[in-house]
A and B are shown apart, each in its own frame.
Chain A
Amino acid sequence: MSNNAISVEGVGKSFRLHRSGTRTVKSMALDILRRPGSGRKDFWALKDVSFKVPCGETLGIIGANGAGKSTLLSLLAGTKVPTTGRIEAKGTISSLLELGAGFHPDLTGRENVFLCGAIMGLTRRQMKERFDAIVSFAGLDEFIDQPVKHYSSGMYVRLGFAVAVEVDPDILLIDEVLAVGDVEFQRKCIDKMKAFREQGKTMLIISHDLGTIQRISDRILFLDEGTVQGIGDPDSVVSNYKSMARSKSVGGLDRVWGTGEVSLERVEFLAGDGSPTDTFSSGSGLLAKIFYKANMRVEDPVFGFSLADSEGRLIYGNNTQIEKFAIPSIEGEGTITLHLGELPMAAGTYLFSFSVHSADHRTNYHRLDNCFPIAVESTSSFEGVCFIPSRWEMGGTTSDKGEDNGPA
């Protein structure tokens, strides 16, 4: 017998999109009259997804909006049926897909708790045993016999979470719950999840809060447009996800052009210590290693770069000509490396452009505008794009505090 709590094999899920929005008998009849089958289109929310979750593992699921995360969880929860493939789950599943979703506004908290328990398949006796724990976890002692329509949204969510965790499932599915509730309640939730983990329960968590999901997960699954882009160690998967999200955020600003005598094949970004990365901390150094290929002998080529913010506003740029770095000629393949001393920018995404052109600027051999996103992380806070060393002076005394504002 396998030791997997969940195994997903080649799962695909297609939805039928109707041209006319909500479907009615009338619209269906009209569609048939127009052209049979023309009123619908299939949309694959998930394609060939396979993974296994061993018992006791906490798996985080990340991806952009519309990547198929929630669809995946609803397949696991059994509220949707996969179009292709197989899903096997061992043990009871409780889902926090939407906290308090099953609550009826006219019923009291107490009645809703028993209703939820029954929906999750617990007997009345089992629910009675858990009832006090649920009420105290939710902190609703005074209000439990009030109709839930009088609850605040926070109370609603707390009760929903309390029910879902106290039913004590073998597998817990959590969709974006860390985003709700106050700080105090979020801490309680995370504590509860940790306790769950220590008890050896299996959890699947969806969240856009990458920091938390990275901390709490054993492994992370990265979904993009319905396919698995990676599964494994949280740090590396999250950094892949961030790179991908950045390349997408470049959207529309990137442009590639040129005559082609020389082509820029690829660019590698290295940290000051020489390790490849595309995330830099503010104030650290950056190396960009440019791999070029000259298809013929080219005299006096000029290599240039520029750096822009995520909206394409130019921050800085220069080239080998300005820097008086003479390159007599190039032919065949080679590399040229750009060294940047200290990145002075605030935290954010920045876009590198690289170019190679003739000394008289008449011929652009190859230009890659805004094609290379990098991330800058910073712990210091200041207004604007760039850090400028500064200090304050009052009367005649000098403050040294300015130094603390420097890049981390």
Chain B
Amino acid sequence: MLSLIKEIRARRELLQILVGRNLKIRYKNSSLGFFWSLLSPLFLIVIYAVFLSLIRIPIDLPVLVSGIIVWQFLAMCLGDSLYAIVGNANLVTKAAFPRIILPLAMVGSNLVNFLLSCVVLFVYLIVAGADFGVVVALPFLVVTQAALCLGVALIFSTANVFFRDTEHILSIVMLAWFFLTPIIYDPDRVLTSPGFPGWVHVLFFANPMSGIVTAYRMILLSAQNPGTAHLCLSFGVAWAILCIGLMVFQKAQPRFGDEL
């Protein structure tokens, strides 16, 4: 593990250039490019706001907006993970460099995109008169989410090298994950409902995104703490997924050159 960090440090310039390249390509060198990338979360927000009000499920707009923005970071990483290795086949088959740089750069550029979205989110929340919580805890939370994103991205980018129908599996995973995470609903609906016993709560927070989204709302909207143990479980699972992702990726990467 230590040698891996050393390797990445030695190639940090490559990492920087690749992050820059990914952003440049995404924004197609246009200054409005970033705002285009806000379009899809905006659509999601509008659709769910209209849909939820139609079926009379009460949800705060700031809760929905923060949930969607946070989810979007993971969703973008998952979507891009399919092509982190396969889409760079020309580099992987022609040059020797630590392969992990590629998914790392992909998550890095999505992180930059997410931080920019957060600026917009902050402006919105200030305008909406949100009651901020312990904002200093935000960096820790962002790092934990980035770790989770990298972990799952490592797993799916590896899987897509070996199995080209990973895409279909991923879309199912993402759909289920979206609804298992309290994005368009309040976690209280699960925690306070009498139909759900304690072990369901544990299972609910074993989904790392449950704890992460809730923690963001605690920081940004002073949402209620669902229990520190529950949050710790989510964060622990997030870091565990990163470790599993690293192991899977490092084990598989010598064979990338053969499969592409």
**Chain A residues in the interface with B (C-beta under 8 A):** 15-16, 22-26, 28, 74, 77-81, 93, 95, 97-98, 101-102, 104, 106-107, 111, 114-115, 118-121, 123-124
Partner of A79, one of B92, B163, B169: B92
A101-B90, A102-B91 as given contacts; A74 in contact with B257, CB under 8 Å: yes
Q: How far is the CA of A357 from the CA of B184 in the complex (A)?
A: 94
Q: How far is the CA of A23 from the CA of B259 in the complex (A)?
A: 10
Q: Which of under 10, 10 to 19, 20 to 34, or 35 or more describes the interface residues of B?
A: 20 to 34
On whether the beta carbons of A106 and B28 are closer than 8 Å, the reply is yes
On whether the beta carbons of B257 and A79 are closer than 8 Å, the reply is yes
A23-B162, A104-B21 as given contacts; A74 in contact with B28, CB under 8 Å: no
Q: Using a Cβ cutoff of 8 Å, how many contacts connect chains A and B?
A: 78
**Chain B residues in the interface with A (C-beta under 8 A):** 11, 13-14, 17-18, 21, 24-25, 28-29, 90-97, 162-166, 169, 254-255, 257-258
Q: How far is the CA of A234 from the CA of B29 in the complex (A)?
A: 51
Q: How far is the CA of A26 from the CA of B164 in the complex (A)?
A: 10
A15-B258, A22-B164, A23-B164 as given contacts; A79 in contact with B94, CB under 8 Å: yes
Q: How far is the CA of A115 from the CA of B11 in the complex (A)?
A: 12
Q: How far is the CA of A368 from the CA of B3 in the complex (A)?
A: 64
On whether the beta carbons of B94 and A95 are closer than 8 Å, the reply is yes
Some 18 contacts from A to B, beta carbons below 8 A apart, are A22-B164, A23-B164, A24-B163, A25-B163, A25-B169, A77-B94, A80-B257, A81-B254, A102-B94, A104-B21, A107-B21, A107-B24, A115-B17, A115-B21, A118-B14, A119-B91, A121-B97, A123-B13
Partner of B17, one of A80, A106, A118: A118
On whether the beta carbons of B164 and A119 are closer than 8 Å, the reply is no
Which of chain A's residues has its CB closest to B169's CB? A25
> Majority SS of interface residues in chain B?
helix
On whether the beta carbons of B257 and A101 are closer than 8 Å, the reply is no
On whether the beta carbons of A124 and B13 are closer than 8 Å, the reply is yes
Which of chain A's residues has its CB closest to B163's CB? A25
Q: How far is the CA of A98 from the CA of B94 in the complex (A)?
A: 7
When distances are taken between beta carbons in the complex, the residues of chain B under 8 Å from A16 are 258
When distances are taken between beta carbons in the complex, the residues of chain A under 8 Å from B162 are 23
Q: How far is the CA of A123 from the CA of B94 in the complex (A)?
A: 19
